Amino acid sequence: MNTKMTLMAAAIAAVSVNAVAADSLEEQVRVLSERVQQLEQQTPTLAEGTSFNLYGSLRPTFNYLDDGDNGKWDVRDALSRVGIKAQTELSNGWVAIAQGEWSVDISNNGDFGKARQAYVALATPYGQLGVGKQRPAQYTLVAEYVDIFNHGNSPFAYDAESPFFVDNFVTYKLQKQGFTLMAGAQINGDKGDDNADMVNVGVGYDLAGLHLGLGYVTQDRLGDSNQVVGDDQTIGGVVAYSFDNGLYLAAAYQDKDYNLDNGVDRSGSTLDTALAYPFADQYKVKLGYFIFEDGVKDNSSKDYDGYNTTLEWNAADNLRFHVEYLVKDFDYSDKDTSIAVGMRYDFDLGWNF
C-alpha cells in the first residue's frame, strides 16, 4: 500500500513539474515574440524606390623598386577601396543620394577606414547639390581622363600637388545636352580663411567618343598654425577621344601659379598623356608620358618627367592582371624605376526596394 502511495505521489509531482515547465515555456515564447515585434518596429527600413549598392575594388601589387642607390622588393596597394551608395527616388526627378567610400591599405596591415568619399546629395531637374567629402571638378572633368594606370600615383604629374578628394566640400553639378557644369567650395572654419578655403569650377563637353574638359582652382596656401600665407591658382584642360577600334588617346595640361604674401612667387605646370589599345580580345597595352614642373629654379626643385608602359590581361569583366614598367626621372635627384605585377578584383552588389 505504501509503495502504491509513493508511486502515485511521484506521478502527481511529475505532472505538476511538467505543467509548470509548459507554462514557463509558453511565457518565454510570448516574451520572445513581443521582443521581436519591438525590434521590427525599431529597425529602420529603406524607403520604396531606394537602390542600394555595396561595391569595392582590391588592387594589390608586387613591386621591384630602384631609386638609383639600391633596389628592393615590396608589396604595395594601387588604391583599393570599399564603398556603399544609396539612392532614393522622391518625385518628379528629385533623388536623394548618399555615398561613403573608404580605402583598404593592402600594402601594410590591410587597414580599413581612411575616407575617400562621404557625402549626401540631392539631385533635381535643376542640378545636384552635395555636401561632404567628394571628388572636385578638377579631377572629375580633367584628370580622370588620364587616370588609366594601375598605380596609386596616377596620373603621375597631376598627382604631385592637385586635388583628388576634398573634405568640407559643398558642390553643385548640372548636366545638359552633353555639357557638364561643376562648382565647389571647401569651407572649413577650423583652418585657413573664414570663408572658402578652396574654390573649383569646371566645364566638360561630351560628344560620341570625344571629351573636352576645363577647370579652374584657387586654394589657400597655409603656413604655421593654419594661417593663410598665399594662394595657388590652377587652370587646366583635357582632350580625350575613344576611337571605334578601341584606341584611346588623352592629354591633360595644367598651369599653376604659387602666390606667396611674403616670398617669391613661382609658376609650375603638369602634363599627363595616356594611350590605351586593346588587342587579342582580353589584352590591352597602355602607354603614358608625363612632366611635372614646380617652378623652383634651383636644385631644391622636385621637377621630373617619365613614362609608363603597362600590359593588361582582362581575364573577366571584374578581374584584371597587369605588368607595369614605370620610370620617374628627377632633374636634381636620382631616377626612380619600378617593375610591378598586380591584380585587381572588382565587385558591385545591388539591391532595389
Tell me the pLDDT tens digit for each residue of 40-84: 555 556 677 899 999 999 999 999 999 878 889 999 999 999 999
Query: What is the pLDDT, as a whole number, of residue 29?
Result: 64
Return d(Cα 275, Cα 36) in angstroms, integer: 58
Are the C-beta atoms of residues 222 and 191 closer than 8 Å to each other?
yes
pLDDT at 2 over 70: no
Enumerate residues 6+ apart whose C-beta is below 8 A from 58.
Answer: 80, 104, 106, 343, 344, 345
Query: What is the pLDDT, as a whole number, of residue 343?
Result: 97
For range 273-296, the mean pLDDT = 96
* Amino acid letter for position 230: G
Tell me the pLDDT tens digit for each residue of 205-258: 999 999 999 999 999 887 777 778 888 999 999 999 999 999 999 999 999 999
Return d(Cα 40, Cα 31) in angstroms, integer: 14
Q: Is 206 exposed, middle or buried (0-12, 13-18, 19+ CB in 10 A)?
A: middle
Question: Which among 187, 223, 213, 182 has a CA at the least distance from the CA of 200?
Answer: 182
Give the DSSP H or E segment for 194: none
Class of domain 49-352 as given by CATH: mainly beta
Are the C-beta atoms of residues 180 and 173 closer than 8 Å to each other?
yes
Tell me the pLDDT tens digit for each residue of 122-140: 999 999 999 999 999 999 9
Tell me the pLDDT tens digit for each residue of 175-193: 999 999 999 999 987 766 6
166 vs 2, more confident = 166
Q: How confident is the model at residue 10 (pLDDT cuts 50, 70, 90)?
A: very low
Radius of gyration of the chain (CA): 29
Among residues of the chain, what percentage have pLDDT more than 70?
A: 87
Enumerate residues 6+ apart whose C-beta is below 8 A from 265.
Answer: 257, 258, 259
Q: How confident is the model at residue 115 (pLDDT cuts 50, 70, 90)?
A: very high
Tell me the pLDDT tens digit for each residue of 162-175: 999 999 999 999 99
Which grid coordinates are listed for 123? 539631385
pLDDT at 16 over 60: no
18 vs 267, more confident = 267
